[in-house]
Amino acid sequence: MKKSLYLFAVLPFLLFSCKSSKQMVSSPRPVSSVASSAYPGIDRVRHYEFIHHDVPQAFDGFRIAFISDLHYRSLFKEKGLTSLVQLLNAQHADVLLMGGDYQEGCRYVPELFAALAEVKTQMGTYGVMGNNDYERCYDEIVGEMEHHGMHVLEHKVDTLRRNGEQILLAGVRNPFDLNSNGRSPTLALSPDDFVILLVHTPDYVEEVSVAHTDLALAGHTHGGQVRVLGHAPIIPSRYGARFLTGLKYSTAKVPIIITNGIGTSNKNIRIGAPSEVVLITLRRSN
């Protein structure tokens, strides 16, 4: 009798463990989240491991650094920028991706991108624009990025090649203007390619078809920027807390990694929404 009661008690736990193990194999997952006081201005590096059958063998173990919403200079200032460059170089990423909202004033753009140009990766730096960047400084940002050899993905697709294999990077131009940009650049791609979509807001992935996208990367929400007991009073998303932060899925089951970002807007304060750099390691599933 006691043995039966024991089995009955642990059965739900075993079922949950089996379900979790299955998700660990078939889905992207956060591996660890670490706060680092060694880099002032950046609260943590958030690690993900993304397992997918379309990841080419040559890209198994490929490391992606993703940053967004620097809002330089906001709460994120010169010392933080120096720390960010040091932190990114310490990650030894293969590529740096940037999600927009770079500045809080056009006069800061040259020094910001001069510093980011010191981040060294094998395959360079790619970025899209955020709503702040369309409101002001657009030409200056594009000019500085191009001057430093960075790639601007304005409704464009670029190819990363390694050992005869490739993955594709697609970027969305102004995702808030669906009349002009409501057709995703991924629609023309092959379902057999491994495709990463870089877009400032996660709402875009929900509102339009992003077919052939294997992984979307977004920012814009700041993780709420201020969260008390997990609740964020202000979330810049039509969908509230649904796409607040972390790994989420659209209705079409597209995985989206949403970063809290680095800087701040409106008020120079963060509570309960740590500033972060995201590091993603690609893994090929068997």
pLDDT digits (tens, 9 = 90+) for 89-112: 999 999 999 999 999 999 999 999
Residues 6+ apart with CB under 8 A from 40: 79, 80, 83
Q: Cα–Cα distance between 70 and 272 in angstroms, integer?
A: 18
The amino acid sitting at 56 is P
Q: Which H or E run contains 9?
A: helix 2-26
> Mean pLDDT across the stretch 183-207?
97
What order do you get walking across the sheet with 151-152 strand by strand? 29-35, 44-52, 276-284, 63-67, 95-98, 125-127, 151-152
Helices (H), 96-209: 109-116, 131-135, 138-147, 178-181, 203-207
Residues 6+ apart with CB under 8 A from 64: 93, 94, 95, 97, 196, 279, 280, 281, 282
Q: What is the pLDDT of residue 24?
A: 33
In a domain, 215, yes or no: yes
End-to-end C-alpha distance for the chain, whole angstroms: 43
CATH number of the domain encompassing residue 117? 3.60.21.10
Question: Count of residues for the chain?
Answer: 286
In a domain, 186, yes or no: yes
* 63-74 per-residue burial string, b: 16 or more CB within 10 A, e: under 16: bbbbbbbbbbbb
Domain extent, residue 187, equals 30-284
pLDDT at 23 over 60: no
- Among 18-22, 34-38, 62-66, 173-177, the least confident range: 18-22
Q: What is the pLDDT of residue 28?
A: 64
pLDDT in tens, 116-130: 999 999 999 999 999
Which of 44, 73, 52 has its CA nearest to residue 263?
Answer: 73
In a domain, 274, yes or no: yes
Q: Cα–Cα distance between 142 and 131 in angstroms, integer?
A: 14
What sign does the CA torsion over 65, 281, 89, 42 have?
positive
Strand-pairing partners, residue 256, are 216, 248
Angle at 45 between CA 44 and CA 51, to 5 degrees: 145
> Mean pLDDT across the stretch 161-178?
98
Which of 129, 130, 177 has its CA nearest to residue 152?
Answer: 129
In a domain, 187, yes or no: yes
In a domain, 2, yes or no: no
What DSSP character marks residue 187?
G
18 — pLDDT class (breaks 50, 70, 90): very low
230 — pLDDT class (breaks 50, 70, 90): confident
Domain count, the chain: 1
pLDDT at 193 over 70: yes
Q: 225 and 269 in contact (C-beta within 8 Å)?
A: yes
pLDDT at 15 over 80: no
186 — pLDDT class (breaks 50, 70, 90): very high
DSSP assignment string, 125-151: EEE---HHHHHS-HHHHHHHHHHTTPE
In a domain, 232, yes or no: yes
Q: 279 and 46 in contact (C-beta within 8 Å)?
A: yes
Q: What is the pLDDT of residue 251?
A: 98
In a domain, 12, yes or no: no
286 — pLDDT class (breaks 50, 70, 90): confident
In a domain, 23, yes or no: no
Reported pTM: 0.89
Q: What is the pLDDT of residue 87?
A: 96
30 — pLDDT class (breaks 50, 70, 90): low
153 — pLDDT class (breaks 50, 70, 90): very high
Please state, for a pLDDT cut of 70, what percent of the chain lies above it. Answer: 87
